[in-house]
Structure 1
Amino acid sequence: MAADVDAEMLAELAEAEATEAEARAEAARAKATAARLRGGEPESETESDAEGDELTDDDEDIELEPRGWWARIGAVTVAVAATVIVAIAALVVTGLMVVAHQKVTAQQQHRAELVAAARQGVIALLSIDYNRAKADVQHVIDLSTGTFKDDFTRGADDFVKTAEQSKAVTVGTVKSAALEKENGDTGVVLLAASSTVTNANGAHQDPRAWRMSVTVARDGAQYKMSNVEFVP
């Protein structure tokens, strides 16, 4: 009988302990649930480390992305600057070429004007018709300047009388002309010329050859003969 009582008591004690353990477990679960609801649940060391690693990766991404954009902007800036420099250099070279071309053109035109003035003056000087001697002589004076103009003007009347008395007709042509030298608004032109002479003394279109050195100088807006020399 006593044995039955002891067994029954032991069973009740075990049941009480199990109930108590279950109650403690339930209380622990309730406490954990409350902690999660409050957001205060502690994180495991592994999770914290993992999140720390993730934050580090994100930070690197955040830092790398702006650097990537700045690198692209820098490359574009360099490319634009290089293009601008090349364009400016091309414009400068083009401008220099244009200026050089204009300078050469102006120089060629200037030389052509010197030669043309000498040629025109020599033709006038070698072409005198006694029928219009005064006008022809005046034409030579109009194409002259400086010392040559002064000298020719002083002898103009005698030149006209000689042409009229001999009934001379001369016709001059220039076979070739070349600029020997130039100095600003003056130049020396070498010419090979010829003339035909007809007069009362029996000459009938007799040809004559001339080699001449003519100095040309600016007189106002024109170039005119300032000196004439016959070269042997």
Structure 2
Amino acid sequence: MGEAQATDERAAAETATAQVDGGGGRSGFVLPAVLGAVVALLAALCGVLLWHHHTVDAAQSERESFLQAARDGATNMTTISHEHPEQDVRRVLDGATGQFHDDFEQSAESYVSVVKQAQVSAVAERVDAGIESQGDDSATVLVQVTSKVTNRSGPEPQPRVSRLRVTVDRVDGGYKVSKMEFVA
């Protein structure tokens, strides 16, 4: 009888274990399925957050590129020396495109002549800029340049403030000034 009782107890224990494990029923698959769904959901959420972060970084980088090109263009335009005006004009033209490039190139000779004759020297000292509007491939930037200017009639450096509206275009992977106008 002792052996029969032990066999009955073993059978009862196996039945209880089978019921806890699911005994081949569907309750044994619920926990792994829920965990799998949670992992998939978290992976998708991480992917969306990484994509959003990349998009925001790319937009910020684009804004900075437009701003830097406008600052450089304004600095080049307001920094000139009567000792080497041809180099200064070349620097402006290198950062220019479109109608602005063509117009400045056409007037470069007379510009150089006036700078030499008046012995003008100007150095941009401070440049502040902010984007007024931005599209896919261009931006309009408001720029304020503070410079020191000397010429034949006033050998002492005089502070000058120039306010410019600068249009910058993305051209062949770079950024160039396509329009520059002085504003009040």
- Tell me if TM exceeds 0.5: yes
What displacement does 1:80 show?
0.4
What letter is aligned with 1:153? Answer: E
1:128 pairs with 2:74: no
Cross-structure match for 2:108? 156
- Higher-Rg structure is 1
1:192 pairs with 2:140: no
Aligned with 1:98 (options 38, 50, 58): 50
Cross-structure match for 1:225? 177
Cross-structure match for 1:82? 34
What displacement does 1:167 show?
1.1
Report the TM-score, using the length of structure 2 for normalisation: 0.86
Q: Distance in 1 between matches of 2:157 and 2:54?
A: 46
- Whether the aligned pair in 2 keeps the contact of 1:128 and 1:168 (CA below 8 Å) is yes
Cα offsets for 1:45-86 (capped at 9, x unmatched) = xxxxxxxxxxxxxxxx8xx78983655652231110000000
Report the TM-score, using the length of structure 1 for normalisation: 0.69
Identical aligned pairs, as a percentage? 30
CA, structure 1 residues 197+65, in 2 after alignment: closer, same or farther (shift >3 Å)? closer
Secondary structure, aligned partner of 1:184: coil
What RMSD over aligned residues (CA atoms) do the two structures have, in Å?
1.9
- Whether the aligned pair in 2 keeps the contact of 1:211 and 1:230 (CA below 8 Å) is yes
What displacement does 1:174 show?
3.6
Structure with bigger RCO (C-alpha 8 Å, 6+ apart)? 2
Unaligned runs of 5+ in 1: 1-60
Unaligned runs of 5+ in 2: 1-11
Runs of 4+ in 1 over 3 A off after TM superposition: 64-73
